[in-house]
Amino acid sequence: NVMKHVSGIPQLEKQLKNILHLSRVVIVPGNSDEQPWVKNEMGLTCVKVMESLITDNTVIAIMGGTTLAAVAEMMHPFKQSQKKPLFVSARGGLGEQVENQANTICAKMAEKADGHYRMLHVPDQLSEESYHSLSMEPSIRESLLLIQSAGMVIHGIGDAMTMAKRRRSSQELLDKIRKEHAVAEAFGYYFDQNGKVIHKVKTIGLQLEELNDERPVITVAGGKSKANAIEAFFKKGPDSVLVTDEGAAQQILQNN
């Protein structure tokens, strides 16, 4: 019963802002775990937030996942912006299927927003050696500089075990997640309930430490099943605009 809850949403947003210590929270009605269209609603809301925050720096760093794919699905040209946006893939592959990879999502966003894109062509799970030699490649260095110059960062949050399994991670990582009680995943980092990083997938691109600066970060993550993950991530996470749904919001409230 969506209508019954609508009037409570501003209140819910305020409470969530306080619990998670964020400057802005936007909640869409419903629970995306059960109602798939709610993910697209979060996607559209994210596009509107992006549109409202865009400045002269139209470089936008993009992560992967099904929620980011929904943002791409709902993307449209930004009304206010004079310059065309440039979507850059912020991390190399994390073992995701093509449709959930940052590269694919960037290209789709650019097409729908009438903008440009720049992919990051690095494979997942790099060895120390190839990590260093790839970082020296001129085309990759150029992409990395672009990512660092981005005026905005858009990313999702996942449940740790769900993400590790979806990415066909090693048994070693699955064991580590279980043993060290990882609950959240974002940017290829795994976090426990206190927001402590317990594992980091070695891949080239935007690192968590680079988020603690002035540029806006938009986090898009919803569904009751992600409540713990969202809470854990923001224990130490950067300030950001959180776009979520009622399903996650109600559950976070209940936990507090």
Span interacting with ligand G3H, options 27-35, 154-162, 232-240, 244-252, rule CB under 6 A: 154-162
Closest-CB residue for ligand G3H?
65
Indicate which single residue of 31, 32, 45, 67 sits in contact with ligand G3H (rule: CB under 6 A): 67
Indicate which single residue of 20, 144, 152, 163 sits in contact with ligand G3H (rule: CB under 6 A): 163
- What residues between 111 and 150 interact with ligand G3H by CB under 6 A? none
Span interacting with ligand G3H, options 53-61, 129-137, 151-159, 208-216, rule CB under 6 A: 151-159
Write the DSSP string, the chain: -HHHHHTTHHHHHHHHHHHHT-SEEEEESS-TTT-THHHHHHHHHHHHHHHHH--S--EEEE--SHHHHHHHHT----SS-SSPPEEEE-B---S--GGGSHHHHHHHHHHHHT-EEE-----SS--HHHHHHHHH-HHHHHHHHHHHH-SEEEEE-EEHHHHHHHTT--HHHHHHHHHTTEEEEETTEEEETT--EEEE---SB--GGGGSSSS-EEEE--SGGGHHHHHHHHHHPPP-EEEEEHHHHHHHHHH-
Closer to ligand G3H by CB, 58 or 87: give it. 87
Q: Does 156 bind ligand G3H (CB under 6 A)?
A: yes
CA proximity to 220, closest of 5, 86, 41: 41
Taking the complex as a whole, the smallest distance from the CB of residue 125 to ligand G3H amounts, in Å, to 15
Q: Does 158 bind ligand G3H (CB under 6 A)?
A: yes
Taking the complex as a whole, the smallest distance from the CB of residue 208 to ligand G3H amounts, in Å, to 12
- What residues between 16 and 35 interact with ligand G3H by CB under 6 A? none
Q: Does 102 bind ligand G3H (CB under 6 A)?
A: no
Question: What angle is formed at CA 6 by the lines to CA 4 and CA 11, rounded to 5 degrees?
Answer: 115
Closer to ligand G3H by CB, 58 or 227: give it. 227
Closer to ligand G3H by CB, 118 or 226: give it. 226
Indicate which single residue of 27, 46, 150, 186 sits in contact with ligand G3H (rule: CB under 6 A): 186
Sites of contact with ligand G3H (CB under 6 A) = 64-67, 156-158, 163, 185-186
